[in-house]
Structures are given as structure tokens and as C-alpha cells.
Amino acid sequence: MYNVRKVTDDLYWVGANDHRLHLFENIYPIPRGVSYNSYLLLDEKTVLFDTVDWGACRQYLLNIEHVLDGRPLDYLVINHMEPDHAACIEEVLLRYPDVVVISTEKAFLMMTQYGFEVGENKIQVAEGDTMDFGKHKVVFVFAPMVHWPETMVTFDTTNGVLFSADAFGSFGALDGKLFNDEVDFDRDWLDDARRYFTNIVGKYGPHVQAVLEKAGTIDIKILCPLHGPVWRTDLGYLLNKYDLWSRYEPEDKAVMIAYASMYGNTESAAQVLASELCERGVTNVVVYDVSTTDVSYLISEAFRVSHIVLASVTYNLEIYPKMLDFLNQMKSLNLQKRTIGIIENGSWAPQSGELMSKFMDDMKLMDVLGEEVSLASSLNDVSYRELREMADAIAEQINGKK
Amino acid sequence: MLYQTTEQHEALRQRVREFAETEIKPIAFQLDQTNGFPAEQIEKFGKMGLMGIPYPKEYGGAGLDVMSYAIAVEELSRVDGGTGVILSAHVSLGTWPIFAFGTEEQKQKYLVPLAKGEKIGAFGLTEENAGSDAGGTETVAVDKGDHYLLNGNKIFITNAPKADIYVVFASTDPTAGTRGISAFIVEKGWDGFTFGDHYDKLGIRSSSTAELIFNNVKVPKENLLGKEGQGFKIAMATLDGGRIGIASQALGIAQGAFESALGYAKERVQFGKPIAFQQAISFKLADMATMLHTSRLLIYSTAELKENHEPYSMEAAMAKQYASDCCQKIVDEALQIYGGSGFLKGMDVERFYRDSKITTIYEGTNEIQRVVIAAHIVGKPPKQKSQRRSRTKTAGATGPRKNIMFNEGSNEEKVAQLVAALEKDGYDFSVGIPIDTPIAEAERVVSVGKGIGPKENMALAEELAKQAGAAIGSSRPVAETLQYVPLERYVGMSGQKFKGNLYIACGISGAGQHLKGIKDASTIVAINNSPNAAIFKNADYGIVGNVKDIMPLLAEALDTGKPKESAPPMVKIKRARPKKQAPDYNFYICNGCGYEYDKELGDEASEIEPGTPFEKLPDEWMCPKCGEGKDEFIKA
């Protein structure tokens, strides 16, 4: 049975939800599932925007067939070639052999690489090219490295709909609720939207900034991303988040304590620090165990907060592997402009403090607090004093006291 | 060709030898013991017309050849190595650059009195961070229109502070490395030009060696030697010639030691005959004589090349390296021949043994000589990648510091600001440690440098230490030369290392070796009357002012009115880290793959040197990861 929703006049959501996939990109846990969004425009011509993941293909084909209601499919616009959106190109071509594919040069090259035979039925567009489908005129705007190089976005100048590819997307299945005003986004969606952006697009902040700059010049009414809710109200809210994330500015004056603890002693120090911070009025504090928390959640929080405390045991004279994994992810995703607190532990040769400190020094604009805490196995009077000094320093920065 | 000196050469040798034997030899031991400089003798040597041997008569010189000069250095060194180097540094280093690169006016003004021996010359190249590698020169000369403003320090300068005229090298373009170095003629006595630490040397103790300190010294435009940026070339050319001088010095020291040992070996009888006839000793003498002969031939032939304007850079390096290496062996064997007697002070071989060592070190270490020689043989090495510079600003010798100066208001107000800052950092001045706590165990130290002035001011420092709850320490000269505090209380690389929290440096200029001894201090406070003192760049807090005024004010401000309570076990106060600054240039990111071009890294795969700005990349440059062109990059 088909399952479609009307987005606005002439435009229909023909995508699908997926709760069976455990790991998005085979790496990110998605306990709330994911949606693959595709949109179908019924004008004098019929225009399909992107396809879906192979796993959702059957639902997708039923949806198209229903919305077309016997009309031919004239155009398929491919904004983004990643297989969670492009896997069904071949199937669409087989079912609608006269369809003309519209995309970028790099995307057509990738179609060849993936084995999709488009043939002569294609229109290769350049930045700023326009197409007229009858009532609706669209303009194609390139968005390289958000987060693939072939990516473009398509703007319908008639009704202000922006088909934004992976930008403004989120993990989480829609489960019926297509629009942002049908959900409590702050409560139910923001964390997943952040986790999606920071882990997948986070590295490409300057490119996102370039797209935001272009977006500032057009009057967007509706945002149609390839995952997650369609935005038709309060667009500024999301654009503001994207602006912060892509400039690597913290969202909140908050503290994230990420600890790596083998027998609970480092964990205990992390918890003591959390209490000390709250005692000082800093209550926006979160504590994570790096061993049991998927690193994508750690990254998401690292992008949110202003202060990150890294508490790690020394392991084989190195940083504990799970902690090192987190640090490597932060570095490769280009995170910057954070204040870092360092807590090390070691029972015979504590090394992790110096190593983590050096790691942060090698990153861009990461400021390590001078107040480092060194534990010999567990917290004692001296290291407790160091810990309180760290709490003082963080509280002073967050509370803005002199 | 006959490898022999001329009669004129030998006549000169006799003249210099006679001078050395009669004027220097009787006082050589005394000069060595007292670190004395033979001022009168050098003046007399000048009057004999021998301080400008290789320079033309019209400029006040003797109009003789380079070999004559080499012979003169050799003969002085044969009696006293220290006296030999006075002549060598004067002629080769202080005078020659003016002779070779000076304008006519500069020659009239400076070369003439130098060549006549009326004035003594010296050469200032070496710095704390620019020894063998002159590219690290940190002394700067800023063009101020009608003059240059000179700031910086030079260390290990032979003939300083006795010399009157100094050829000094400073960077006029710090971004250009060795190509930014220029040479200047600087006179003793100019405002802001002072001398630093006295060096207590192993050998050549009759030569004077000191630090040059330039504090906003105005150098007239006409005292630029050569052109701007030519300094490195001038320095290298000068050192080529200087190497003949040092080779001759080494030869002279070795000759003196050899003759002394030969004489002793002929007199000393063991097993019924002079030891010179024991094969063990005679073979030593044979080897020594051979080394002397080969050294001499190498030096004289190099002098002849220079005299005849033939290339001689490689030969000068060979002569210096070979003669000084041989010298080490010869003085060693000479002392060995003397046996236990040679180990005693007052024996000339004991002095030669110590004097010889410097010859393998200065004027370019013998390792550098081999670099020079090898470069002549194998040519220039393949293009070397410059090292990646750190994103963060390089910190001083004591690591990153706050560098906060209290400049506002009266001395009382500056002191009050300092005390407030220290208290905010967590210092509790109601507690303290005994003033005689060993430096290594002290939580706080009040340390004095030569700026403390006369000994009675030590009472002020001790009062400050008491009120700061600190032990007392000092710089090396205060303990070693002035002897205001016992030797075990001086702080520095060679002395005690301070690893506690608070270090208050009073009248300490901040020599490199001192700074290395306090790099682990949590907080460094500097009080000094010179705003350019290195200590300020290495301190958290600084007050420019006379220590005599500031110390009592600070002591008063720290006085709680009660005796200090005994300090609890030390808790190390954490160092402040300066906030990272964004780089002053943009990264460029590839549209094809997200690759980031960072000019600090360059692009090794395409042979783009680190430091190349994106704009300067060649048009055909492509992204090393995906092959996109330059125009497919966006500014981050």
C-alpha cells in the first residue's frame, strides 16, 4: 500500500521510513530509525527529487505510482548520489524509461561508477542553471562537500521550496509526522539532528557556511531535506543551529565530562567534579562513559558544549583506546574553540594527561585549562584540591565571574 | 717551488717572538690566574706597528702579507694562547670586515685607528639561539629613518668589553632568515650599549670575553656596513679569514707545548738516560713534530691563497680544523711527557692544555668546519624541507607565560596590582618558608641579579624574602663573582633548579642559562630597570623599576604584620596557559574532497614549501587528494 503525504500544493512526500536498519552508514546507531525523503512535483511536467535507500525501494515505487496516477514521469532530479538516496535510480529508469535525469557532472560520473546506465536521457546542469516545469521554475545551486563533492540543492522559485539534499536532515523515522510543527523538535529531535550533522557533515564547516551564505540570498519558505522532518515554520531556529555548528561555536555554556575508567576510580573523580560544578551553580553538566557510549553521541555533545573535561586512565603508557577514539573523531571532524579540562589517572606511570593535553594542543583553537588533575589510582586530598581548582576555573568561565 | 718562508717572514717571527718572550711570558701565569688582560702589552704591540699587519700602510697598517699575520698570531700563542687570540680577533674579526666592506669614510674613521693599534676591535655574531646556525639571529635593527634602533644580546664575544669598536650582526628583516641579516659598526660608550656577564673560562684566560647587550642603541645610518641583507655574507667571509688566525693560534699553542715537552724530555732522566731517548717518548715527539709541520704547511699555504686572492674558504676550514685537532693531541702528549709535574698549576703545559680546547670550538666548531669542507667536495645538499612551525606562538625559555606588565600609576600602585594578582593566583602570604630553605625544595624564592647593586642592598632582598615567605637565591654572577650569597644558592642550568611556585627575580636580566633553571616555576615575577630585559618576556608579571625602590614597597605590601606561619606541604600552583589565537591567515578547502590547504604545512607531494601562501601556489597546482584545480578551493 502506498504511504504518501502532501507537502504543499503540487508537491508530495514519496519517501519511506526505516526502523530495521541498526547502523546508519554501517556506523551510527539509530534507535529511532531513519527516514529517506523523496519528493514528487506534479506540474505540466512531473519531477521526482532524489530516490531512496534500496531497502525502502518497494514502498517508494508504490508511492510514485500512486501520486503519478497514470501520468508519465518526465524528470528525475538527483541532488545527492549517496546510495541511501540514489540506490533506486536504476529501478526508476527501468520502470520509467523515458525519464530525463537532471544532475551535476560529478554526479553523472558517479552514476557510471555505481553502474547506473542513464544513457542519452540526461541534462547536465551547472551552478545557477534554471529549469521550467510549467508553473514551477527551479534553480540549481551547487553545495560541494555538504558533505559529498557532487551535491547540489534545488530551489523552487515559485513556491520557495528548497530541496536541500542532506543539509538540514536528521536521524529518526518520521512515523507519520512529516512537518517540524507536528513534533516537539527540541525535545524529540534536536539531539538526533545534531548527532546527524556533527558526525556526518561536521568536518565541512566552511562549506556549510558557504551554502548558508547562498541561502541567505533567497526567500526559503519550506525546507525539504533528504532525512527527517520538513521545515515549514521557524526556519531561523534551524538555520541558527547550523550556523553555530558549522562555525564550531558551542550551543550551550555547558560542561561535558567524558571519562574512561577501568575500575570506577576515574569515574568517581568525574562524578565528584560534576557535583563540584553543580555546587558552583554550573548545572548544565553531562557525564559520559566513553566505553559504553557510542562515539557519535560523544561527538554530538562535544559540539554542543563549551567545556569538555577528558578524564582518562593511562593504558599501555597511552591514552585509553576508547578515549583515544573519541579524541581522533573530534580531530577529524575539525572540532575547535572548546575549553578542555584534563584529568589523568595512572597507578605507576600516569601519561594520559600529558598525551591528551598534547593532542588538544595540536588541534585548532582548543584551549587546555592549566588546572590539570593527576590521580594516582584514586582521588586523594591533593588531587581533590586540584579537582576543586578545576571546578573553580570552569565555573569562573561559565558564570562569567571575575 | 720551495716550501719555505722568506727572510722577511723569519725576521718578523724573531721580532714577535722577542716581544712575546720578554713582555708576555713573565706574566703569562699571572694573567691566567687572575683572568687579567695584558692591556699595556697590547698597547706596546700596537706601537710596534703590529696590530694591523695585513692592512695597507695608507690605512695605518704594516702593509705586510697574510702569512706575516699568521706568524704573529702563532708566535704570541706559542707563549700565551690568550694573547694570541686578542690579536686574531682584533685583526681578522673586528678590523677585516671594515677593510673589506667599509666605505672610504668608514675606513678613515674606524680602520685607521684599528690598524694603528690605537683602538681594539671585536666581532659580534654569536647569540643564545644563533651559534653555528646564524639564521637564528634574534638581535634586531629597526630602520628609524636617520638611524637604526638596535636591540638584543650577543654572547661569548672575544675582546669585549676591552674593545672600542664592534662589528655587530643584526636582523633588519626577521622574516628573511640569513638574508635579512645586516652588519653594523658600533662604538663602545653609545647609549644603551652595555656589557653582560663575565665569563670564567677554562682557558685563554688572558683574553677578555663578555656578553654585549643592546638596549635601544641608536646606530647612525652611515654605520651600516655593506648593504642591508649582506650581513650573513660579510660574516661568512670574515670567518673564512678568521680561521687562518685560529689555526695559527692552535699551531702556536701546540708549538709552545711541544718545545716545552721536548726540553723537559731531554732533561728528565729515568732508567739512566733522558726520557727523550726512551722510544715511548721519542715516538711521541716524532708524531708531534710531524703534526706541527703538516699544520704549518696547511696554514701558510692557505694564507698565501688569501694573499693572492685565490679561493681559500675550504682550505681555511681544513687548516683550522686540522691544526686545532692536532693541537689537542700535541698538548695532551706534552703534558703526558711531563708526567705528574705537568699536572701542576704554574707549569706552562698545564696552561697550554687548557688553552688549546677552545680552538676546536670557536670560529666555527670543527664539526662546522667539516660541514664547510664537505660542502666544497660534494656540493650543495638536495633542497631541504623547512621544518613545520608550530601553530602557536613560540614561547620564551621558560615556556608560555602571562607576560602581564604593571606599568600604570606610581610604584606603590604597581606593587599593589602585583600583590592582588598573586593573591588571586592563590598565594597566601600569611605562611612562609625559612630563608635558607634549599632552592630545590623551596616553594618560593626571591632571587637577586647584578642589578641589586652594592652589597648593602642584600638586606632589602632578605626582607622581601621574609615577607614573601620565600628562600633567597641569585643569578650566577651574584654568587660567583660578587659572592653575596653562597654558590649553592645560585639558580640556573648549571646551578640549582627551582621547581616551586613563586619566583621573584630582582635585578636579573634573564640570561638563557638562568631562565632554563626556572622554567618549571608556576609564577615568575620580574623586577628590573631595563624594559628590554629578557626576563620580562619570560615572566608572568613584571614591574619596570629600580629594585632598590620596588623591593621595599613589595616587602611592605606583603607584610601581614605577623610572623609567617610555617607553610603547609607544597601544592604546586598550576601554570597559566595563554589562550590560543587563530592563525592570521586563512585555510583553503577543496570543493572536490574537503582537503584543507594549510600554508604552514605546504604540500610535500607537489614540492610546495611550508610557508607558501595559497595565493602563491602555482596556477597548475592541483589538490593533492582529488586533483581539483586551485579555483575549486574556498576560503575557510
Domain identity same for B513 and B624? no
Quick one: A72 and A111 in the same domain?
yes
pLDDT at B567: 85
Cα B311 to Cα A171, B284, B306, B363, B378, distances in angstroms: 76, 35, 7, 19, 17
Residue A47 is assigned to a structural domain of this protein? yes
In this structure, are A261 and A364 located in the same domain? yes
Query: Do B417 and B557 sit in the same domain of this protein?
Result: yes
DSSP B580: P
Asked whether residue B513 falls in the same domain as residue B559, the answer is yes
Mean pLDDT, residues B260-275 taken together:
96
A206/B580 CB distance under 8 A = no
**How far apart, in whole angstroms, are the C-alpha atoms of residue B271 and residue A195?**
94
The residue from A246, A269, A299 where one domain ends is A246
Chain B contacts in chain A segment 370-389 (CB below 8 A): 370-372, 382, 385-386, 389
Residues B617, B468, single domain; the answer is no
Same domain for B422 and B557: yes
pLDDT per position as a tens digit, B166-193: 999 999 988 888 899 999 999 999 999 9
Residue with cell 550551543: A251
Q: Based on the domain organization, do A162 and A270 belong to the same domain?
A: no
Residue B136 pLDDT: 84
Q: Does residue B95 register a pLDDT over 80?
A: yes
Burial environment of residue A44 by CB neighbours within 10 A (0 to 12, 13 to 18, 19 or more): exposed
Q: What is the pLDDT of residue B18?
A: 97
Catalytic residues of B: 363
B27 assigned to some structural domain: no
Residue A151 shares a structural domain with residue A263: no
Is the distance from CB of A247 to CB of A209 less than 8 angstroms? yes
The packing angle between helices B348-356 and B25-34, to 10°, is: 60
Instruction: Look at residue B506 and tell me if it is in a domain.
Output: yes
The answer to whether A152 and A165 have CB atoms below 8 angstroms apart is yes
pLDDT of B400 reads: 82
Distances (CA, A) of B123 to B98, B159, B166, B209: 11, 9, 5, 11
**In the block, which residue shows the cell 645610518?**
B221
**Domain assignment of residue B452, given as a range:** 404-566
Q: To the nearest whole number, what is the mean pLDDT of chain B? A: 92
* ipTM of the complex in this document: 0.85
The answer to whether A366 faces chain B, any CB pair under 8 Å, is yes
B576 touches chain A (CB under 8 A): yes
Same domain, B496 and B557: yes
Residue B341 has pLDDT above 90, yes or no: yes
- CATH number of residue A355's parent domain: 3.40.50.360
Q: How far is B571 from chain A (nearest CA, A)?
A: 7
Whether B579 sits inside 8 A of A367 (CB atoms) is yes
pLDDT (tens digit, 9 = 90+) per residue, B560-614? 888 888 888 777 777 767 778 888 889 999 999 999 999 989 998 888 988 899 9
Cell numbers that stand for A206 in this block: 566552511
For B224-255, how does the pLDDT look when each residue is reduced to its tens digit (9 = 90+)?
Answer: 999 999 999 999 999 999 999 999 999 999 99
Residues of B in contact with A145 (CB under 8 A): 589-594
The type of residue at A108 is F
Q: What is the DSSP letter of A234?
A: -
Among chain B residues, CA nearest to A337: B580
HEC-encoded secondary structure of B528-552: ECCCCCHHHHCCCEEEECCHHHHHH
Are residues A242 and A261 both part of a single domain? no
**Domains in chain B: how many in total?**
2
pLDDT of the residue at B386 = 53
Domain boundary among A205, A229, A246: A246
User: A194 and A288 share a domain?
Assistant: no
**Chain B residue with minimal CA distance to A150?**
B592
* pLDDT at res. B388: 45
Cβ atoms of residues A91 and A52 within 8 Å: no
pLDDT at B513: 82
Please report which confidence band the pLDDT of residue B396 belongs to, taking 50, 70 and 90 as the band edges: confident
* Partner residue opposite B575 with nearest CB, options A210, A370, A382: A370
Best probe of the B interface among A365, A366, A368, by most B CBs < 10 A, is: A365
Per DSSP, the three-state class of A387 is helix
Minimum Cα–Cα distance from A334: chain B residue:
B596
Grid coordinates representing B155 are 654572547
Strand pairing of A307-315 and A318-319?
antiparallel
| Closest CA–CA distance from residue B515 to any residue of chain A (Å) | 21
Cβ pair B76, B206 in contact under 8 A? no
A215 and A89 housed in the same domain: yes
- Inside any domain, residue B422: yes
* Residues of chain A positioned with their CB less than 8 A from the CB of B594: 145, 203-204, 207
Interface touch A145/B582, C-beta < 8 Å: no
Do B627 and B530 lie in one domain? The reply is no
Mean pLDDT of B204-218: 94
Residue B426 clears pLDDT 90, i.e. is over it:
no
Q: Tell whether A144 is within 8 A of chain B (Cβ).
A: yes
More confident call, B496 vs A330: A330
CB contact under 8 A, A371 and B577: no
Work out the average pLDDT over A92-110: 97
On chain B, the residues whose CB falls within 8 A of the CB of A386 are: 574
Q: What is the CATH number of the domain that holds B603?
A: 2.20.28.10
A325 touches chain B (CB under 8 A): no
Of A149, A361, A372, the CB nearest to B592: A149
Instruction: Point out the domain boundary residue: B536, B566, B596.
Output: B566
* Partner-chain contact A206 B634, CB within 8 Å: yes
Q: Cβ separation of A366 and B580 shorter than 8 Å?
A: yes
Please return the burial class of A183, using the count of CB atoms within 10 Å of its CB with bins 0-12, 13-18 and 19+. middle
Residue B425: inside a domain: yes
Q: The C-alpha cell of B221 is what?
A: 645610518
Greater pLDDT, B532 or A274: A274
Bridge-based pairing state of the strands B273-274 and B269-270:
antiparallel
Test B589 with A207 for CB contact under 8 angstroms: yes
C-alpha cell at B176: 628573511
Nearest neighbour of A370 by CB, restricted to B577, B593, B635? B577
Domain enclosing residue A300, as ranges: 255-396
The predicted pLDDT at position B393 comes to 45
Cross-chain residue pair B392–A368, CB shorter than 8 Å: no
| Cβ proximity of B629 and B617 under 8 Å | no
pLDDT confidence tier of residue A166, bands split at 50, 70 and 90: very high
In a domain, B519, yes or no: yes
Which chain A residue lies closest to B569 (C-alpha atoms)? A382
Question: What count of CB pairs under 8 Å joins A to B?
Answer: 48
Instruction: Among A215, A246, A277, give the residue marking a domain's end.
Output: A246
A211 and A184 inside one domain: yes
Residue B441 in any domain: the answer is: yes
Give the per-residue pLDDT at B441: 87
Which three cell numbers mark B574? Answer: 598550576
Q: Which residue of B571, B576, B591 is in closest CB contact with A145?
A: B591
- Residue B459: CB partners within 8 Å, gap ≥ 6? none
| Average confidence score pLDDT of chain A | 96
CATH, residue B551: 3.40.50.1220
Q: What angle do CA A312, A318, A319 make, to 5 degrees?
A: 30
Reply yes or no on whether the pLDDT at A110 is more than 60.
yes
Q: For position B399, what pLDDT does the model report?
A: 83
Cell numbers 623547512: residue: B386
- The identity of residue B342, as a single letter, is G
Q: With a cut of 80, say whether residue B539 has pLDDT above it.
A: yes
Reported as a single tens digit per residue, the pLDDT across A285-336 is 999 999 999 999 999 999 999 999 999 999 999 999 999 999 999 999 999 9
Low-confidence winner among A170-179, B355-364, B579-588 (lowest mean pLDDT) = B579-588
HSE-up of residue A215 (Cα within 13 Å, Cβ side): 27
Asked whether residue B488 falls in the same domain as residue B552, the answer is yes
Domain presence at residue B439: yes
Do B556 and B626 belong together in one domain?
no
Same domain, A213 and A337: no
User: A217 and A114 in one domain?
Assistant: yes
Q: Is residue A401 part of a domain?
A: no
Mutate to test the interface with B, among A110, A364, A373, A402 (most CBs of B within 10 A): A364
Confidence of residue B54 (pLDDT cuts 50, 70, 90): very high
Whether chain B has a CB inside 8 Å of the CB on A301: the answer is: no
Distance, CA of B69 to CA of B13 (rounded, Å): 10
Q: CA of A106, closest CA in chain B: separation in Å?
A: 9
Query: What pLDDT, on the 0 to 100 scale, is given for residue B385?
Result: 55
Residues B432, B534, single domain; the answer is yes
Residues A238 and A377 in one domain: no
Q: B475 with B596, same domain? A: no
Residues of B in Cβ contact (< 8 Å) with A385: 571
Q: Could you tell me if B623 lies within 8 Å of chain A, comparing CB atoms?
A: no
Asked if residues A175 and A236 have their Cβ atoms less than 8 Å apart, the reply is no
Give the length of chain B: 636
User: Domain count of chain A?
Assistant: 2
Residue B154 in any domain: the answer is no
Banded model confidence at residue B394, pLDDT cuts 50, 70, 90: low
Q: d(Cα A352, Cα A313) in Å, to the nearest integer?
A: 6
Q: Which of A104, A142, A145 to mutate to test the interface with B (most CBs of B within 10 A)?
A: A145
* A21-25, B35-39, B333-337, B381-385: least confident range: B381-385
- When CB atoms are compared, the residue of B426, B574, B594 closest to A203 is B594
The answer to whether residues A279 and A345 belong to one domain is yes
Residue A402 belongs to some domain of the structure? no
What does the alpha-carbon distance between residue B473 and residue B525 come to, in Å, rounded to a whole number? Answer: 14
Average pLDDT over residues B129-153: 89
**Section A327-354 average pLDDT:** 95
Question: Domain check: are B419 and B502 in the same one?
Answer: yes
Contact B422, B479 (CB under 8 A): no
CATH of the domain at A93: 3.60.15.10
* Nearest Cα residue in chain B from A389: B574
Q: Does residue A339 form part of some domain?
A: yes
